[in-house]
Amino acid sequence: MSETQQILHLALPSPLRRRFDYLPPKDGENDSYLPGQRFRVPFGSRTLVGLLLEVSDHSDYPLAKLRHAEACLDLQPAVPPHLLKIGLWAASYYQHPVGDALCSFLPVLLRKGEKAEFAHQKLWVASVDQLPENGRSAPKQQQLFAELKAHPQGLSNDAITALGFSSGVIRALKEKQLVHQISRETAPPHSHQTDNLLLESPLVLNDEQASAVDAVASKLGQFQTFLLQGVTGSGKTEVYLQLIEKVLQRGRQALVLVPEIGLTPQTVGRFRQRFSVPVAVLHSGLNDRERLDAWLQAERGDASILIGTRSALLTPMQSPGIIIVDEEHDGSFKQQEGFRYSARDMAVIRARAESVPVVLGTATPSIESYYNAQLQRYHWLQIKQRAGNAKPPAFELLDIRQQPLEDGLSPPLLMEVRQQLEQGNQVLVFLNRRGFAPTLMCHDCGWQADCPQCDAHMTLHRQPAHLHCHHCDYQAPISLRCVKCGCTNLNPVGAGTERTEEALKRYFPKTDIIRIDRDSTRRKEAMKKLLDRVHDGGPCILVGTQMLAKGHHFPKVTLVAILDADAGLFSADFRGMEKMSQLILQVAGRSGRADRPGRVLMQTLHADHPRLRCLIDEGYNTFAEQELEDRKNAQLPPFIHLALIRAEAVAQGRAEAFLQMVRVMCEGLGINGVELLGPMPSPMEKRAGRYRAQLLLQSHDRRSLHQLCSQLTLMLEANKQAKKVRWSVDIDPLDMF
Ligand code: ADP
Ligand code: ZN
Ligand code: ZN
């Protein structure tokens, strides 16, 4: 070995919070390597694919103990340097093992060591210059051979069939060894054009939209965070589109993040309809190959626009010009397991690293973003008017304390629905609970069908009939007898979307009732088919969960009926109110988006609840101000920073005992200014057969909190007790359960 031995410091997919040192591949001792390149390495008896973080001439381990990497898999870094830096920052900020965090930046196929190339296609090419004079070929064979000569890049089987040749013709040529197959990377179409970008003309912006576009456009090429707060139907998408147009004119790419359920064909359609450039889409419904292709399109700059859910933020882009986070308040931007990052917060970090503006768009900002805008950390853009002729919907609280409810529907609500239908309008009925009923209860003794693995009731489903735990997915046939008293007097209690749908069918037998929830949209294309029925049809009733709340534009909907406005009013989660308000305004925003005025009817048992009143009488900003005031008084985020340590174990009490030990460890570290709350059992203690507990860490000083968490995680990694439970650290937790 030479004196200046190269040491490769790699991030490997491992739960350990450290780098792993290797010697370069044996046949590449003197090559130079770049951080971000992938390496295949031996690891125990397995091989793993890791990312190079750094090359140095020093290892903390004896050189003799280091193994050689097997191979370098990339010519260029798979994760470019600036993104690698963001990955390292995020691993450290979210207290997650670096190798595992960086894995999230790679599509699955690259994690498995596949080439960073588009799908390969088998193509036929001619093997000889011309057909031999002696071995006379049939005319069809001569024609096909001529075609292959005319297409030196090769022709696929499909292309050959399309040209009118049967498969026998190519086979005959092959047997004579006149043609052979090659495998070639087939890149999808790409474009670097900056003129003829538009397929349709942009709308004429109103003043508020125009000043939003101007404000952001004046910062292209620089970092700046914008909070674009536009009421529902204010035309935020048009603002995005016109901004993207300016970005494309500069030869740059746009990255658009949307919530999990907001990525409908309609959303993507609006971008594809406007621009002639390739639009790549990344979401959870893609297979591994499709994911890699979209990733490559963005990385090579072939796609000018990348639209995707959370993880799209981690995709390299050749020349990004803007990042847009639509519905920034949405919870799906925070990953709830493993690498618990917030794509919204990381969008700001990435925009800074790429020197581009980032636009956080929403009608109902998260309290955190609202606060940042108030403090002028974010540039606040507001659109208070709806676009076009649309007027804001009128809200009405419907006090159901004295009302007889049939399947959760009150008589005045039904009357209103009927009137709207008679006028040829569409109605949206919102209930954020799927299934037929949330519980099955014994009328005689009060027994309820519970999940054997969770502290939760089983939801009753009728289509198909079964009991289903929505927390662990456990399923069982519907009980016919009470387990406790043996009687057969079992009744569904409460209503979910299936029950509402059934009831509405009874009341409105001639009306098309369209249910949209996770169950009705499970099959591929199902959502699109249901939405087509809404868009093409006349009067109808849409029944659904929050899947209906986001992004959809239903011009014919004039009435939104919210069956249970109280869900969330008395939540144990300090964000309960915030989430409820956002959901109510989002759903309400589906109403009256075109020429016909919209109404929103909300059934409630708390018609005089001051916050509910405030929300509908004074609007979201007044609500947000009050919420901030409350959070300040109670010392909750954004006035304080949180880290939640969760643990779970099969044996009851073990997770809590473990966290008690963690608490003592924290105290032993002697870091000032971090308050420890707990341990306590999680609000739903038992879930999927495990008992769960949590310890909350809070501090005014982010640095102290960070210091404590990083020392603690290193200690826990080496701790024997910690191996007997599942534990995790959640920085800036969104869900406290
Ligand atoms: P948001 O996302 O803010 O809820 P959308 O972007 O879906 O709103 O826009 C709502 C409707 O208003 C869409 O049909 C859109 O085409 C229309 N729209 C947007 N901007 C304008 C405008 N400047 N003039 C006329 N119609 C507009
Ligand atoms: Zn369960
Ligand atoms: Zn009973």
Q: Which ligand is nearest to the CA of 440?
A: 3
Confidence tier at 135 by pLDDT (50, 70, 90): low
Check residue 688 and give its pLDDT: 96
Q: Are residues 398 and 546 in the same domain?
A: yes
Check residue 544 and give its pLDDT: 94
- List, for residues 39-85, the tens digit of each pLDDT value: 999 999 999 999 999 999 999 999 999 999 999 999 999 999 999 99
Using the mean position of ligand 2's atoms as its centre, give its distance from the Cα of residue 437 in Å.
16
**Ligand 1 atom closest to Cα of 204?**
23
Is 564 inside a domain boundary?
yes
CATH number of the domain that residue 709 is part of: 3.30.70.600
Q: Are residues 125 and 253 in the same domain?
A: no
**Residue 460, φ and ψ in degrees, nearest 5:** -85, 125
Boundary-marking domain end, from 613, 631, 649: 631
Q: Which ligand is nearest to the CA of 450?
A: 2
**Ligand 1 atom closest to Cα of 231?**
3
Q: Are residues 588 and 617 in the same domain?
A: yes
CA dihedral angle for residue 661, residue 662, residue 666, residue 669, rounded to 10 degrees:
70
Q: Are residues 543 and 678 in the same domain?
A: no
Domain total in the chain: 6
- Report the pLDDT averaged over residues 527-543: 90
pLDDT greater than 90 at residue 138 = no
SS3 459: strand
pLDDT greater than 80 at residue 137 = no
Is 1 inside a domain boundary?
no
Is 518 inside a domain boundary?
yes
Q: Which ligand is nearest to the CA of 482?
A: 3
Q: Are residues 485 and 517 in the same domain?
A: no
Is 737 inside a domain boundary?
no
Q: How far apart are CA 239 and CA 203, in angstroms?
A: 10
- Report the pLDDT averaged over residues 689-714: 97
More confident: 146 or 736: 146
Using the mean position of ligand 3's atoms as its centre, give its distance from the Cα of residue 489 in Å.
7
Is 244 inside a domain boundary?
yes
Q: Are residues 407 and 537 in the same domain?
A: yes
Q: How many Å separate Cα 599 from the centre of its chain? A: 30
- List, for residues 494-532, the tens digit of each pLDDT value: 999 999 999 999 999 999 999 999 999 888 788 889 989
Is 636 inside a domain boundary?
no
- List, for residues 358-407, the tens digit of each pLDDT value: 999 999 999 999 999 999 999 999 999 999 888 889 999 999 998 888 88
**Ligand 1 atom closest to Cα of 555?**
14
Using the mean position of ligand 1's atoms as its centre, give its distance from the Cα of residue 383 in Å.
11
CATH number of the domain that residue 63 is part of: 3.40.1440.60
- List, for residues 181-207, the tens digit of each pLDDT value: 998 887 777 766 677 899 999 999 999
Is 190 inside a domain boundary?
no
Rg of the chain, C-alpha, whole Å: 30
Using the mean position of ligand 1's atoms as its centre, give its distance from the Cα of residue 234 in Å.
6
- Ligand 1 pocket test target in 206, 208, 209, 238 with most atoms within 8 Å of CB: 238
Q: How far apart are CA 155 and CA 137, in angstroms?
A: 20
CATH number of the domain that residue 295 is part of: 3.40.50.300
Boundary-marking domain end, from 610, 631, 652: 631
Q: Residue 264 carries which DSSP code?
A: -
Check residue 543 and give its pLDDT: 96
Using the mean position of ligand 1's atoms as its centre, give its distance from the Cα of residue 262 in Å.
16
* Beta strands 557-562 and 599-604, pairing class: parallel
Using the mean position of ligand 1's atoms as its centre, give its distance from the Cα of residue 274 in Å.
14
**Residue 244, φ and ψ in degrees, nearest 5:** -60, -40
- Ligand 1 pocket test target in 200, 201, 203, 258 with most atoms within 8 Å of CB: 203
Protein residue with its CA nearest to atom 25 in ligand 1: 388
**Residue 469, φ and ψ in degrees, nearest 5:** -90, 120
Q: Name the one residue in this structure whose structure tokens are 């020197």.
A: 355
Q: How far apart are CA 519 and CA 543, in angstroms?
A: 12
Q: Are residues 281 and 317 in the same domain?
A: yes
SS3 654: helix
Q: Are residues 511 and 477 in the same domain?
A: no
Q: Which ligand is nearest to the CA of 550?
A: 1
Q: Are residues 152 and 279 in the same domain?
A: no
Boundary-marking domain end, from 88, 111, 134: 111
Check residue 1 and give its pLDDT: 45
- Domain with 139, as residue range(s), is 120-185
Is 568 inside a domain boundary?
yes
pLDDT greater than 90 at residue 262 = no
Q: Are residues 168 and 99 in the same domain?
A: no
Q: Are residues 444 and 515 in the same domain?
A: no
Using the mean position of ligand 1's atoms as its centre, give its distance from the Cα of residue 268 in Å.
15
Q: Are residues 454 and 418 in the same domain?
A: no
Ligand 1 — pocket residues by CB below 6 A?
Answer: 203-206, 209, 230, 232-238, 387-388, 553, 593
